[in-house]
């Protein structure tokens, strides 16, 4: 079983690589990611969060079901924004308000390598933007306009990171 990579693990800051092979290993990886996500009560998970630097995302659909987004590309962001109290399995017990476009269009591949297009809004749009950020080494705390919970935890994690850099 995978372990979730927690901030400040450097894998979370890497730009993930494009998936090239739509093989059984990819399906297995997505399936294992979904299991870890459900175990930790997450609603979305990006491969870098299990220390695999690949452009692969799973999103929970409830009851153990999940949807996979391979090599996702957000092609449209609405001007209209929405504010959400976001959290992340890689930053437990930290919650923050993040302002994001309310609607997006996304292109991606399914596990069979077929190109898909979707228009998302509301929570689905927020989840996908949060997860695509992970593929680019961006975390929700980078975009946070206000930390709602866990400021002290975040301060001590950031201090760990600063101490390492010294
Ligand atoms: Zn996250």
| Structural domain boundaries, residue 73 | 10-165
Query: Has residue 4 been placed in a domain?
Result: no
Characterize the bridge pairing of strands 81-86 and 95-101.
antiparallel
Tell me the three state secondary structure of residue 42.
coil
Query: Has residue 2 been placed in a domain?
Result: no
**107-160: pLDDT as tens digits:** 999 999 999 999 999 999 999 999 999 999 999 999 999 999 999 999 999 998
Query: Has residue 5 been placed in a domain?
Result: no
Query: Has residue 52 been placed in a domain?
Result: yes
**39, 65, 131, 145: which one is catalytic?**
131
Give catalytic status of residue 131 as yes or no. Answer: yes
Distance 42 CA to ligand 1 centre (A): 9
Distance 24 CA to ligand 1 centre (A): 25
CATH number at residue 161: 3.90.45.10
Query: Is the pTM above the cut of 0.85?
Result: yes
H or E element in which residue 98 lies? strand 95-101
Whether 106 contacts 74, CB under 8 Å: yes
Work out the number of other CB atoms within 10 angstroms of the CB of residue 50: 22
Overall domain count for the chain: 1
**79-122: pLDDT as tens digits:** 999 999 999 999 999 999 999 999 999 999 999 999 999 999 99
pLDDT exceeds cutoff 90 at 1? no
Distance 141 CA to ligand 1 centre (A): 10
Query: Has residue 135 been placed in a domain?
Result: yes
**78-91: pLDDT as tens digits:** 999 999 999 999 99
């Amino acid at each position: 079983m995978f372990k979730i990579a927690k901030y400040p693990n450097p894998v979370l800051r890497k730009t993930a690589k494009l998936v090239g092979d739509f093989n059984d290993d990819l399906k297995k990886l997505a399936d294992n990611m979904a299991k870890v996500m459900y175990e930790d009560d997450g609603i979305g998970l990006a491969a870098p969060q299990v220390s695999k630097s690949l452009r692969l995302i799973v999103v929970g659909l409830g009851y153990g079901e999940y949807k996979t987004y391979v090599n996702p590309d957000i092609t449209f962001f609405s001007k209209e924004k929405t504010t959400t109290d976001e959290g992340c399995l890689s930053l437990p017990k930290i919650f923050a308000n993040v302002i994001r476009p309310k609607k997006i269009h996304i292109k991606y591949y399914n596990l069979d390598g077929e190109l898909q297009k979707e228009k998302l809004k509301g929570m689905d749009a927020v989840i996908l933007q949060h997860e695509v950020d992970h593929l680019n080494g961006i975390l929700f705390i980078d975009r946070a306009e206000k930390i709602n919970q866990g400021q002290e935890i975040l301060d001590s994690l950031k201090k760990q990171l600063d101490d390492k850099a010294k």
